[in-house]
Structure 1
Amino acid sequence: MYQSILKAGTALTAVVCLASCTGEGQSDTSGDVVQVNDTTITEDALTAELRERYGKQVLQDMVHTKLIEDKAEQLEIQSEQVEQELQTLKQQYEVETDDELLTLLQSQFQLPVDSISSLKKDVLQPQLVRRQMNEAVELSEEDKRSYYEEHQEELESVTARHILVDDEKTAAKVKDELADGASFEELAAEYSTDGSASSGGELGSFTRGQMVEPFEKAAFSMNPGDISEPVSTEFGYHIIEVLDRKTTYEDLETDVEEAARRDQIPTEQEWMQQLMDEGNIEIKDALYEDWVHSQKSPAS
């Protein structure tokens, strides 16, 4: 989240800089601004330099801000919802007051927002707009099944427990005791050298890529109820029991839907481009055509 906040803050800094030098806070007199030896820096020269350095980004930021405000109104996002986002942020970072939150965001994340109202308008409201737009993404049954077919292997999961020992001889002994009907949980508590010993060797559910390769290869080749031969890894020797394995679409439907939805959620830049496409943007001065339509999202 804070990558977006930081980049939005950078754009805001540019806006403030340009506005303060070309509008708000402007002196009553125009013309010369600073004399440096024999050279005079004029207000026109200063403004031109600011436009060259920051103008395009500032204009894009102004367009984006207005698009977000209009979308928030269209989605009927209320001030109470933004306030709730603020309270959630305070709870997340365990602070109680607005000042404490601002200090944290400024010091830890270098966020150049100096008021809660700016935080709400420039960060939290856009966050709510994007979230509601993402939640509106619709998935058909065909979409979900297609995603499953393409990503079945990475979606498959195994629920397992293990007994981890230091040497092959002990592993063989444990395997023999299991074959004789000993309790897996009791043997895990007695022999296992890792933290799972206290919970009967339970490892929970995992997908491919979360365990070391020999362990993963063994676990994903087993069926529920199977107990492996000793499996050697860098941590020692494992006796693995598979408790459950999800491989079918029906088993994985909830996981498939979550993953497929994440896959369809647009990036920050795609989201802003969507707002640009939906908006009615009319360029009044051809000079600014490229400034607006060659845009990149501030959060990209």
Structure 2
Amino acid sequence: MNLKYITRITTGLILMLFVVDMQAQEVVVTDSTAIQPKEEVAESITKSSNERRRVEGIAAVIGDYIILDSDIDLMYKQMQSQNMSTADVTECKLAGSLMENKLYAHHAVQDSIIVLDADIRSYIDQQIAEMSRQLGSVEKVVEYYNKESEAELRQELFEINKERQLSSRMQQKIVESVEVTPEEVRAYFEEMKKDELPIFGDEVEIAQIVVRPEIPESEKQKVIDRLSEFKADVEDNDASFRTKAILYSDDTNTGGTILSLGRKDNFVKEFKDVAFSLQEGEVSEPFETEFGYHIIEIDKIRGQQVDLRHILLIPGVTNATVDEAKAKIDSIRKRVNEGKLEFGEAAKEFSDEKETRNDGGKLRNPKTGDTKFEQTDLDPKIYNQIVNLKEGEMSLRITDSDDTGKPFFKLIKVVRRIPEHKANYATDYLKIKDLALQAKQLEAIEEWQTEKIADTYIKVNSKFRDCTYAGNWLKK
């Protein structure tokens, strides 16, 4: 079915919507046998398609949104350029995918789902910055996407990203209240035929102890003093905060760009507390988070949202503290090997990784919340470290580095190995629960689509009327 096919390619198609060059075009309908859209829909099309060039025609109209023939062609070409398999991809399937996305976006607007323009523009800033790094300059990005100006490119990206956000949030709303009970999970499992039970690959449970070199107080004071100098230069000498962020911030992803921050956004508490305590134009005192030391400049306050820039400086470690950390983890390993200390107890007492130390160092799979990992899903770095370890064995000292480049050291133990096996209700409950939940969410989406297709103005034109869809897009 088209819907189930779409669930397998959704990620790829959404990614393509970020960058697909859907050139703005004047719309001309060439399907003379088609019933013309309602007057208000035609007006909406005209407004959203200003300055568009002439194309072959409109493939479909979904509520207030249109799908051009060229949109489908470009999506197919984009899949090819991304080296994605197109063996089973047809124009009908791509049209079905685009129609679903437009349906979600249309009803997100109807349901008053809000996507803040400032959030989208902030994301576009990051998009263009990343593309500029890849191609060499903003001008080359504009040329690559065949736009006449950066403003035109930004407007195109704005429309694409806003529609994508609306579609995504509508889908989240549809399934957010869907849950499965233990009885439903058991029923789902029992309905599976024995020869169709899923196969779970080789799995492993692992635990780790992490020791990080301490940061000397002298290094912390250095970055605090430097941030204080930046603040004074901005306030006393009218220096540019943005320029200092670009030149000096250790946060290279957002250096100099404006971040839009809401009170409920997923930022560390210390950062949000400072951001919402400042007035427009004010620069904070240096403050600490788990990432390092910051100062913030508030650009604009918009109700429960603030636009800001920040500078992050990360204090370094010294050779002496690195050597101390090595000696500490080597001592822990020796005591565990000699039987003087259990690995789990050592993790609770000595590990610097707060997320795992209270559970004896055990890592949890972020996909399932379980302690079991399929080996093929492991981070390649971890896989290479444990691939030759037997159950119960512990690694030698491993040197790693965090996102800021600071070194740390760890020991990894293979707690348990589980060979490839067919799904078992008792031992694989969480995985089976996840499959049951996905099936129930898919049913909720199918029901929602059936209802909304019936209630929404939809017109499918030309050759796309000959397609076979899972949903009643043709309203026959």
TM-score (norm 1): 0.46
Q: Which has the higher helix share?
A: 1
**Larger gyration radius, structure 1 or structure 2:** 1
Q: TM-score, normalised by structure 2?
A: 0.32
